[in-house]
Amino acid sequence: MTAALEAAEVGYEVFIVEKNPYLGGRVAQMHHYFPKLCPPNCGLEINFKRLRRNPRIKFFTCAEVEKISGRKGDFDVDVKVSPRFVKPECTACGECVEACPAERLNDFNYGLDKTKAIYLPHPFAFPMKYLIDRGACADSCSKCVEACKYNAVDLNMSPETVNLKVGAIVYATGWKPYDAGKISYYGFGRHKNVLTNVMLERLAVPNGPTEGRIERPSDGKEPETIAFVQCAGSRDENHQAYCSQICCLATLKHITYIREKNPNAKIYVFYIDIRALGKYEDFYTKVAQDENVVFIKGKVGEITEDPATGDLTLETEDQGAGKTVTQTVNMVVLATGMAPSTLEARIPSELAALDAGGFVISSVSETGIGGAGCARKPMEVSATVRDATGAALKAIQATVGGGE
Partner 1 sequence: MAMTKKQAVYFCTGCGIGEALDIQALVKVATGEFKIQDVKEHPFLCSPEGVDLIKKDIEAGVNTVTIAACSERVCYGVFDFGPSVIVERITLRERVAWVQEPGDEDTNMMAEDYVRMGLTHAKAAELPEPFVVENPSKTILVVGGGLTGMTAALEGAKAGYDVVLVEKGAALGGWAGSVYKLPPLAEPYTEPEQNSVPTLTKAIDDNPKIKVYTAAAMESISGGPGVFEAKIKLNGDTANARVGAIVLATGAKPYDPKKLGYLGFGKPNVVTHADVEEMAKNGKLKDVKRVAFIQCAGSRDQEHLPYCSAACCVESLKQAAYLKEFNPDAQAYIFYKDIRATGKYEYFYKAVQQTGAVFVKTEIPGVQVNEDGGKLAVEADDIILGEKVTIGDLDLVVLANGMESTASFGEEVVLESEEEAAAAKEDEPAAPPDQIIKSNLLNLAYRQGPEMPALKYGFPDSHFICFPYETRRTGIYAAGAVRATMQVPTAIEDGTGAVLKAIQCVEAVARGEAVHPRAGDISYPEFNMNRCTQCKRCTEECPFGAINEDEKGNPLPERTRCRRCGTCMGACPERIISFKDYSVPMIGGMGKAIEVPEEDEEKPRILIFACENDAVPALDMAGISRMKYSAWVRVIPLRCLGSLNLVWISDAMSGGFDGVMLLGCRHGDDYQCHFIKGSELAEIRLSKVSETLDRLGLESERCRMHQISIMDYYRIPKLIEEFVEKIDELGPNPMKGF
d(CA 7, CA 361): 21
d(CA 388, CA 391): 5
- Could you say whether residue 259 binds partner 1 (CB under 8 A)? no
Taking residues 182 to 211 in sequence order and writing x for each that binds partner 1 by CB under 8 A, - otherwise, the string is -----------------------xxx----
Greatest Cα pair distance, the chain, in angstroms, is: 69
Q: Which is nearer to partner 1, 194 or 392 (CB)?
A: 392
- CA distance readout (Å), 133 to 94, 139, 208, 223: 16, 12, 20, 34
CB of 80 to partner 1, least distance (A): 23
d(CA 353, CA 375): 12
Count the alpha carbons within 13 Å of 324 in the hemisphere toward its beta carbon. Answer: 5
DSSP code per residue over 245-284: SSHHHHHHHHHHHHHHH-TT-EEEEEES-----TTHHHHH
DSSP class of residue 223 equals P
- CA distance readout (Å), 27 to 101, 259, 374, 380: 30, 22, 12, 10
Q: Which of residues 277-316 bind partner 1 (CB under 8 A)?
A: 277-282, 285, 297
CB of 135 to partner 1, least distance (A): 27
Span near partner 1 by CB under 8 A; candidates 47-55, 61-69, 171-179, 252-260? 47-55
Taking residues 150 to 179 in sequence order and writing x for each that binds partner 1 by CB under 8 A, - otherwise, the string is x-----------------------------
Q: Which is nearer to partner 1, 139 or 404 (CB)?
A: 404
Q: Which is nearer to partner 1, 194 or 381 (CB)?
A: 381
CB of 74 to partner 1, least distance (A): 18
Q: Which of residues 53-112 bind partner 1 (CB under 8 A)?
A: 53-54, 89, 91-93
Count of residues interacting with partner 1 (CB under 8 A)? 83
Q: Which of 135, 220, 263, 322 binds partner 1 (CB under 8 A)?
A: 322
Q: Which of 365, 367, 369, 375 binds partner 1 (CB under 8 A)?
A: 365
CB of 114 to partner 1, least distance (A): 18
Angle at 89 between CA 83 and CA 90, to 5 degrees: 80
Q: Which of residues 374-393 bind partner 1 (CB under 8 A)?
A: 377-379, 381-383, 385-390, 392-393
333 membership: H or E segment, kind and range: strand 331-336
